[in-house]
Amino acid sequence: MTFRAKHLLGIEHLAPDEITTLLDLADQYVDLNRRDVKHSDTLAGLTQINMFFENSTRTQASFEIAGKRLGADVMNMAMQASSVKKGETLIDTALTLNAMHPDLLVVRHPHSGAVDLLAQKVNCAVLNAGDGRHEHPTQALLDALTIRRAKERLHRLSIAICGDIAHSRVARSNILLLGKMENRVRLIGPPTLMPSGMEEFGVEVFEDMREGLKDVDVVMMLRLQKERMDGGFIPSEREYYHRYGLDPEKLSHAKSDAIIMHPGPMNRGVEIDGVLADDINRSVIQEQVEMGVAVRMAAMELLVRTRREAAQEQGVMV
Amino acid sequence: MADLLFTNARLIDPEAGTLTLGSLLVKDGRINEILPQDIDLNDKRFPEGNRIDCGGKVLAPGIVDIGVKVCEPGERHKESFRTAGLAAAAGGVTTMVTRPDTIPTIDTPETLEFSKRRGAEMAPVRIAPMASLTKARAGREMVEMGFLMDAGAVAFSDGDNVVSDNKVLSRAMTYARSLGALVMGHPQDPNLSKGSAVTSGKFASLRGLPAVSPMAERMGLERDLALVEMTGVRYHADQVSTAVALPVLERAKAAGLDVTAGVSIHHLTLNDLDVGDYRTFFKVKPPLRSEDDRVAMVEAVASGLIDVICSMHTPQDEESKRLPYEEAASGAVALETLLPAAMRLLHVGAVDLPTLWRALSLNPAKRLGLEGGRLSVGAPADLVLFDPDAPFVMDRETLRSKSKNTPFDGQRMQGRVLRTFVGGTEVYARA
């Protein structure tokens, strides 16, 4: 088993063998989660705090279920970023929480790099549940697990990521992960939603969706935030759907067995056709949600193992 | 004042562009004579006691630093005239050209006089204050330029608050031209750069930070220079930091506009990748650029296209910097690191010492109409004695500035100031 990371801040810091280790363990948790009794005592006696400085229902619920199934004591803190004086409070809150000796801290924050900053100030393992436009590592890992189970491999695949790449932490983490596992990554989107210098990451950039989707194995759609639709980045919702929304015709350019993914929540009729999203032969969107819990269980267990091993080396029991 | 004789020094004369071994005689606080190495030092016109054997180290005019933020009035917990002055003396800076972006803004003769008085009382080096171009740096009404010049303002600048209203700026420039005043601009398109924290490119995309294209600087510079051409004002761009802006500057100079430009030491020695894992001490304004841009700026200093190197000394306390990158304050302290950082350019063979001193002392003094910055007979004896080779590891806690926000913390540097003199009086000696 190979997993050395002390925190899960981003895919950037993970090596390919660590990713494989994590996915292998997550596979086992998928089995556990499908049983009647879904419980393990791996994290019994440990405290997990979920700090969400940005609203989230799905990710927070997923982390909460993951922690509870592993026997951890889970606490949710809704940090309304708008009501606190940002930043200052971030460090202060981190120090305050640290004094309560949590073992796992799950953090989502609207600013890129904020979770890295917080991780420097606490003694426990920190999991990044999404920071600004930077990274969302557990999303990329659950996407990877979904792909690996559907395609029976996670290398030499052609994968298209479509939509608002510029504002997407999901896209960044996926580009890094899929690149590390030696896949061909294509980015598709209007140029106003494409960050600069992307070609330097070893990906191909397409403005034409049909061209970009040609012969891909996986179509990964991204959510288009409502606030980007006001004419600032794209002219209108309907023009966006016409050019970049996934419909059966555009999908026909991909391989016939290509799978459709979406990190959710979906805007049906904006980035994806509603019928396609529900097509159980093509869409793996529900599997993604299922894999999310398993991947988060695996991530937390591995981080705790790393800490326990480090403590044992120092002759201290945790 | 006692006479002073420096012997056995490598003398930088930025006007002549020379570095020669010799001696230098100071009388009444001014440079009295520059002597070749083979002179008979027993001559009775030389002082007996007050002799400094420089041991072959470098003696140069003190640095004239355009754009120092002192934080007084308003934010004395970040920096005061006392601490900035001590930092300047230790860094070989003998004239601090202070910025008006304090709280309140230096926009009246009264506030300017406060700065001058505090500077004279508290700082061991010279202070040349700038005033804002518009009241409260709000970009609406011009300041009392005539009164402010009478009070000693050496230039007018709204700092990084770009005057976006072209009519306001053109009128202020026209009025400044009639007074012969120098207007200092911050070339940056304010709309394109709004909300940005880094320069666009691979690094910005990887880190997911809001980014600005280098083109925003060129657009700002082109706008300013069009108005310079229209009004005939004397203009200095505080910082030019991108390769795309250089041809614009070159054309303006070739067309005979009265234009000069500066660059901060950070943009000459660091690039955007140095930000690494969101290290906010590397957040400056404009943001650090690509390595290609940095190299272009060094070449522009060597060729003389860029006239001035400055520290852009901007103290920020820990609370302003220990924030997520987007929210963290911009700026770095640099009075004490300017000279050793500039030595990096020397040691890689990019720029020689006389060329560096042309940009560090001669050009800024000339541009602002100050006496210093020269190693010539009659010039004030504002001098720095330094060892360009002495190695050390930068420890930010040793800085004299109240704020310790330097990007060079923990880095290996070369170049130590040994002694600093202002008007022939020693203001710093390395322990």
How does pLDDT run across A14-37, given as a tens digit for each residue?
A: 999 999 999 999 999 999 999 999
Kindly list the strands in the beta sheet with B156-157, ordered across the sheet, starting from the edge strand earlier in the chain.
B156-157, B182-185, B234-237, B259-264, B308-310
Q: How far is A120 from chain B (nearest CA, A)?
A: 11
Q: What is the mean pLDDT of chain A?
A: 92
Q: Give chain B positions within 8 Å (CB) of A133.
A: 208-209
Average pLDDT over residues B23-51: 88
Two tokens at A76?
Answer: 């949710």
Out of B203, B208, B322, closest to residue A169 by CB: B208
Cα dist from B117 to B101, B112, B152, B370, whole Å? 17, 9, 11, 18
Average pLDDT over residues B190-213: 94
CA-closest candidate to residue A271, choices A139, A164, A191, A130:
A164
pLDDT tens digits, residue range B6-22?
Answer: 999 999 999 999 999 99
- Residue A116 sits in a domain whose CATH number is 3.40.50.1370
Q: Which of residues 286-325 of B touch A (CB under 8 A)?
A: 319, 322-325
B324 and A169 within 8 Å at the Cβ level: the answer is: no
Q: What pLDDT shows up at residue A82?
A: 47
- Let me know if residue A176 belongs to a domain: yes
Pair A129, A148 in one domain: no
Domains observed in chain B: 4-59+381-390+412-429 (2.30.40.10), 63-374 (3.20.20.140)
CA-closest candidate to residue B185, choices B115, B78, B87, B259:
B259
A196 and B201 within 8 Å at the Cβ level: the answer is: yes
Q: Is B356 on the interface with A (CB under 8 A)?
A: no
Q: Give chain B positions within 8 Å (CB) of A117.
A: 278, 322-324
B205 and A111 within 8 Å at the Cβ level: the answer is: no
CA-closest candidate to residue B150, choices B188, B118, B112:
B112
Per-residue pLDDT at B296 exceeds 90:
yes
Domain boundary among A87, A113, A135: A135
Which chain B residue has its CA at the smallest distance from A118's CA? B324
Average pLDDT over residues A209-237: 88
Q: Give chain A positions within 8 Å (CB) of B200.
A: 195-197
The bridge status of strand B383-393 relative to strand B308-310 is unpaired
Q: What is the C-alpha to C-alpha distance for residues A48 and B299, in angstroms, rounded to an integer?
A: 54
What single DSSP character describes residue A106? E
Identify the band that residue B46 occupies on the pLDDT scale cut at 50, 70 and 90: confident
Which chain A residue has its CA at the smallest distance from B200's CA? A196
Pair A159, A234 in one domain: yes
Q: What pLDDT shows up at residue A2?
A: 82
HSE of A36, CA atoms in CB hemisphere, 13 A: 0
Of chain A, the percentage scoring pLDDT greater than 70 comes to 94
Q: What is the C-alpha to C-alpha distance for residues B405 and B407, in angstroms, rounded to an integer?
A: 7
Known binding residues of A for L-aspartate are 86, 169, 223
What single DSSP character describes residue A71? T
The residues that bridge with A205 in the sheet, in sequence order, are A187
Average pLDDT over residues B273-281: 95
B209 and A112 within 8 Å at the Cβ level: the answer is: yes
Rounded to the nearest 10 degrees, how much is the dihedral formed by the CA atoms of B98, B104, B106, B111? -110
Out of A88, A134, A197, closest to residue B208 by CB: A134
pLDDT tens digits, residue range B69-94?
Answer: 999 999 999 999 999 999 999 999 99
Q: How far is A238 from chain B (nearest CA, A)?
A: 27
Identify the band that residue A99 occupies on the pLDDT scale cut at 50, 70 and 90: very high
A114 and B324 within 8 Å at the Cβ level: the answer is: yes
- Let me know if residue A169 belongs to a domain: yes
Q: What pLDDT shows up at residue A229?
A: 66
pLDDT tens digits, residue range A252-282?
Answer: 999 999 999 999 899 998 999 999 999 999 9
Q: What pLDDT shows up at residue A311?
A: 86
Average pLDDT over residues B282-305: 98
pLDDT tens digits, residue range B314-334?
Answer: 999 998 999 999 999 999 999
Q: What pLDDT shows up at residue A77?
A: 85
B325 and A88 within 8 Å at the Cβ level: the answer is: no
Q: How far is B322 from chain A (nearest CA, A)?
A: 8
Element containing residue A145 per DSSP (H, E): helix A137-151
Q: Is B276 on the interface with A (CB under 8 A)?
A: no
The residues that bridge with B391 in the sheet, in sequence order, are B414
Average pLDDT over residues B192-197: 93
- Let me know if residue A109 belongs to a domain: yes
Q: What pLDDT shows up at residue B170?
A: 98
Q: What pLDDT shows up at residue A232?
A: 85
Pair A89, A182 in one domain: no
Pair A191, A55 in one domain: no
- Let me know if residue A302 belongs to a domain: no
Pair A114, A208 in one domain: no
Q: What is the C-alpha to C-alpha distance for residues B160 and B143, in angstroms, rounded to an integer?
A: 17
Per-residue pLDDT at B279 exceeds 90:
yes
Q: What pLDDT shows up at residue A315?
A: 73
Domain boundary among A135, A157, A182: A135
Q: Is B201 on the interface with A (CB under 8 A)?
A: yes
Identify the band that residue A230 occupies on the pLDDT scale cut at 50, 70 and 90: low
Q: Which of residues 206-235 of B touch A (CB under 8 A)?
A: 206-209, 211, 213
Pair A70, A142 in one domain: no
**How many residue contacts between A and B have a Cβ separation below 8 Å?**
78
B322 and A117 within 8 Å at the Cβ level: the answer is: yes
Which chain A residue has its CA at the smallest distance from B276's CA? A113
Interface predicted TM-score of the whole assembly (ipTM), two decimals: 0.87
Identify the band that residue A93 occupies on the pLDDT scale cut at 50, 70 and 90: confident
Average pLDDT over residues B202-212: 94
CA-closest candidate to residue A220, choices A136, A111, A108, A110:
A136
- Domain residues for the domain of A156 are 138-288
Q: What pLDDT shows up at residue A85?
A: 54
Pair A56, A77 in one domain: yes
CA A195 to the chain's CA centroid: 19
Q: What pLDDT shows up at residue B260?
A: 98
A87 and B322 within 8 Å at the Cβ level: the answer is: yes
* Interface probe, candidates B191, B277, B280, B321, chain A, greatest A C-beta count within 10 A: B277
Cis peptide preceding A265, ω within 30 of 0: yes
Pair A66, A152 in one domain: no
Which chain A residue has its CA at the smallest distance from B210's CA? A133
Q: Is B20 on the interface with A (CB under 8 A)?
A: no
Which chain A residue has its CA at the smallest distance from B278's CA? A113
Known binding residues of A for carbamoyl phosphate are 58-59, 108, 136, 139, 264-265
- Let me know if residue A101 belongs to a domain: yes
Q: Is A305 strand, coil or helix?
A: helix
Q: What pLDDT shows up at residue A313?
A: 83
Per-residue pLDDT at B43 exceeds 90:
no
CB B334 within 8 A of CB B399: no
Kindly report the three-state secondary structure assignment for every residue of chain B.
CCCEEEEEEEEEECCCCEEEEEEEEEECCEEEEEEECCCCCCCCCCCCCCEEECCCCEEEECEEEEEECCCCCCCCCCCCHHHHHHHHHHCCEEEEEECCCCCCCCCCHHHHHHHHHHHHHHCCCEEEECECCEHHHCCCCECCHHHHHHHCCCCEECCCCCCCCHHHHHHHHHHHHHHCCEEEECCCCCCCCCCCCEECCHHHHHHCCCEECCHHHHHHHHHHHHHHHHHCCEEEECCCCCHHHHHHHHHHHHCCCCEEEEEEHHHHHCCHHHHCCCCHHHCCCCCCCCHHHHHHHHHHHHHCCCCEEECCECCCCHHHHCCCCCCCCCCECCCCCHHHHHHHHHHCCCCCHHHHHHHHHHHHHHHHCCCCCCCCCCCECCEEEEEEEEEEECCHHHCCCCCCCCCCCCCEEEEEEEEEEECCEEEEECC
What are residue B61's phi and psi, to 5 degrees? -60, 145
Chain A positions touching chain B (beta carbons under 8 Å): 12, 86-88, 90-91, 109, 111-114, 116-117, 131-135, 169, 172, 195-198, 200-201
Residue B181's identity, in one-letter code, is A
Which chain A residue has its CA at the smallest distance from B275's CA? A113
Q: What pLDDT shows up at residue A86?
A: 52
CA B369 to the chain's CA centroid: 15
A111 and B319 within 8 Å at the Cβ level: the answer is: no
- Choice among A305-309, B99-103, B228-232 with the minimum mean pLDDT: A305-309
Pair A89, A145 in one domain: no
Q: What pLDDT shows up at residue A231?
A: 65
Average pLDDT over residues A187-197: 94
Q: Which residues contact B76 (CB under 8 A, 6 or more apart)?
A: none
Rounded to the nearest 10 degrees, how much is the dihedral formed by the CA atoms of A125, A129, A132, A136? 100
Q: Where does residue B45 fall: left (phi above 0), alpha (psi -120 to 50 degrees), or beta otherwise?
A: alpha
- Choice among A78-87, A215-224, B250-259, B359-368 with the minimum mean pLDDT: A78-87
Per-residue pLDDT at A1 exceeds 70:
no
Average pLDDT over residues B290-311: 98
CA-closest candidate to residue B332, choices B298, B288, B293, B292:
B288
Q: Which residues contact B254 (CB under 8 A, 6 or more apart)?
A: none
Q: What pLDDT shows up at residue B227?
A: 98
- Let me know if residue A25 belongs to a domain: no
Instruction: Let me know the angle formed at the C-alpha of B134 by B130 and B135, rounded to the nearest 5 degrees.
Output: 100
What single DSSP character describes residue A243? H
Cα dist from A91 to A131, A150, B43, B392, whole Å? 15, 42, 67, 32
Kindly list the strands in the beta sheet with A204-206, ordered across the sheet, starting from the edge strand earlier in the chain.
A204-206, A184-188, A158-162, A218-221, A259-261
B205 and A198 within 8 Å at the Cβ level: the answer is: yes
Q: Into how many domains does chain A fold?
A: 2
Identify the band that residue A109 occupies on the pLDDT scale cut at 50, 70 and 90: very high
HSE of B30, CA atoms in CB hemisphere, 13 A: 7
Pair A121, A152 in one domain: no
Average pLDDT over residues B225-252: 98
pLDDT tens digits, residue range B371-424?
Answer: 999 999 999 999 999 999 999 999 999 999 999 999 999 999 999 999 999 999
Cα dist from B95 to A116, A245, B171, B265, whole Å? 40, 62, 30, 17
Pair A82, A164 in one domain: no
Q: What pLDDT shows up at residue B44?
A: 76
- Let me know if residue A17 belongs to a domain: no
Which chain B residue has its CA at the smallest distance from A114's CA? B324
* Interface probe, candidates A196, A198, A199, A233, chain B, greatest B C-beta count within 10 A: A196
Pair A130, A241 in one domain: no
CA-closest candidate to residue B81, choices B107, B60, B105, B99:
B99
Q: Give chain B positions within 8 Å (CB) of A131.
A: 208
- Let me know if residue A33 belongs to a domain: no
Q: What pLDDT shows up at residue A317?
A: 54
**Residue given tokens 């020397």 in the structure block:** B346
pLDDT tens digits, residue range A126-172?
Answer: 999 999 999 999 999 999 999 999 999 999 999 999 999 999 999 99
